[in-house]
Amino acid sequence: MRKTDVLVIGGSAGGILTATTSKKVYKDKSVLLVRKTGTVMVPCGIPYIFGTLNDTAKNRIPDTIITNVGVNLVVDEVTKINKENKTVFLSNGEEIAYDKLVLAIGSTPIIPKFIEGFNLENVFPILKSEVYLQDLLEKLKAMQDVVVIGGGFIGVEFAEQLQKNGKNVTLVEVAERCLWQAFDNEACETAEEAMKSNGITIKTGIKVNRIIGTDKVQSVEVEGGESIKADAVILGMGVIPNSALAQEAGISINAQGAILVDEYMRTSEKDIFAVGDCAEKRCFFTNKNIPIMLASTAAMEAKVAAANLFGLKYVRANKGTISAFSTKIYNKTYAAAGLTERRASEEGFEIVIGQFTTMDKHPGSLPGASKIELKMIFIKTSGVLLGAQIVGGDSVGEMINILSLAIQQGLTANELNTFQVATHPLITSSPIAYPINAAALDAMTK
């Protein structure tokens, strides 16, 4: 029987970073990662296989990331956990003993079994398997009319990439706005207008009644009876935690099917941890369970778990997810962190909004300059930052990371108004109109 000090099940972002961090923190410990697939896809890069990349091989995470630091790799499926004996069983019958076990077993796409026709040929959920995605890429080459169900990040990014690849795309979202969970209406409207102006048909605030076809999908019927021609349907309706393996082993899960964890990512079972999409998520601001599943959140959780596998050696607890997002739709970048204005109000916070619009170079007439629109949400009484949203050029992808840290550290409008920045005409906004400073000042004046 094979033995290892640390056994990580799952080979995507959470699993990779848990394994590599464990090896770096505990150099004398053996670390073994077991995953089901021969290759691993960059999860957030999957939509770009179908437009920008046109090749699954260009979206792989190289195995050298783990093997170069001394992590051992086994490609197989774990079928059973015996928590009493501290062993797992692989599909080939092999048994592996562990001292510490980390579950990074991810999530499963939502399959809308409540929609008639969900199981027709050419109705495609988004799986992370390269073999599956390569087959999907080949099949889509012969198809022209595609309906994407779901207007979150995955749905919007798929719609954009398929349209860029010459497809006739219709995006259907049951909520009133695409991207509504991450952004307030202003940014949602900007994103929708960008998609519409590039030929994507957007249908929001409407349900799918059924998917029509005999063997293969032929059309999608929405509320009101309208039929939309479809050679293929992409299901971008979100994901649910993949916790069956844990549940079968007697590890506690919550009502939403996620593995229960504490702030150090420890499960209900001694010596078993869970990170990433399979693990319970709690809101940084309210401690409520929230269905936010991001590679960046998994990375943070992985570092917390790995650093504290053998006792709380590095006391850095997971205080909850900030929900930091970013995406690019055509020529604009959209980024958000923390609470939206809508959700802050729903949670009962008395808020004040700071806003500012400027250019990301100075003067704004420089080649390649883009407009930046920043919105920041503060608690009215204390001035503490609750959330931020930015629309602009590529620079906002890193600007939101500054604001994510500011949220985690409880910085105030006054501190953000006076924080010192490095500026240069070719790469940043002007020092007299730096957007974070200026939006914070705007909030202070209110």
Q: Rounded mean pLDDT of the chain?
A: 96
Q: Which domain holds residue 361?
A: 331-444
State pLDDT tens for residues 249-270.
Answer: 999 999 999 999 999 999 999 9
State pLDDT tens for residues 286-316.
Answer: 999 998 888 889 999 999 999 999 987 665 6
95 with 118, same domain: the answer is no
d(CA 332, CA 190): 9
User: Model-level pTM?
Assistant: 0.93
Residue where one domain finishes, among candidates 213, 237, 261: 237
State pLDDT tens for residues 84-94.
Answer: 999 999 999 99
207 with 115, same domain: the answer is yes
Residue where one domain finishes, among candidates 307, 342, 365: 307
Are 148 and 140 a contacting pair, CB within 8 Å? no
Report the pLDDT averaged over residues 157-175.
98
Report the pLDDT averaged over residues 52-62.
96
Which helix H or strand E contains 227, and what residues bound it?
Answer: strand 227-229
195 with 253, same domain: the answer is no
Of all residues in the chain, what percent carry a pLDDT higher than 70? 99
300 with 349, same domain: the answer is no
Position 366 in a domain: yes
State pLDDT tens for residues 350-365.
Answer: 999 999 999 999 999 9
119 with 103, same domain: the answer is no
Position 314 in a domain: no
* Confidence band, pLDDT 50/70/90 cuts, at residue 371: very high
Residue where one domain finishes, among candidates 185, 205, 237: 237
State pLDDT tens for residues 188-202.
Answer: 999 999 999 999 999
Task: With H, G, I as helix, E, B as strand and everything else as coil, classify residue 201.
Answer: strand
Question: Domains in the chain: how many in total?
Answer: 3
| Helix runs in 82-198, H state only | 130-140, 153-164, 185-197
368 with 283, same domain: the answer is no
Tell me the C-alpha to C-alpha distance, in Å, between residue 183 and each of 65, 201, 290, 294.
34, 20, 16, 16
Position 322 in a domain: no
Position 313 in a domain: no
Among 285, 275, 244, smallest CA distance to 379 is for: 285
> Where residue 219 sits, what CATH number does that domain have?
3.50.50.60
Give all strands (DSSP E) within 10-116, no chain letters: 31-35, 72-75, 78-82, 87-90, 95-103, 107-109
> Where residue 359 sits, what CATH number does that domain have?
3.30.390.30
385 with 302, same domain: the answer is no
18 with 166, same domain: the answer is no
d(CA 420, CA 279): 37
Of all residues in the chain, what percent carry a pLDDT higher than 90? 96
Give the model's pLDDT for residue 318.
75
Position 316 in a domain: no
115 with 233, same domain: the answer is yes
314-339 per-residue burial string, b: 16 or more CB within 10 A, e: under 16:
eeeebebbbbbbbbbbeebbbbbbbb
125 with 213, same domain: the answer is yes
33 with 46, same domain: the answer is yes
Give the model's pLDDT for residue 311.
82
232 with 115, same domain: the answer is yes
State pLDDT tens for residues 121-162.
Answer: 999 999 999 999 999 999 999 999 999 999 999 999 999 999
Position 320 in a domain: no
Report the pLDDT averaged over residues 3-20.
97
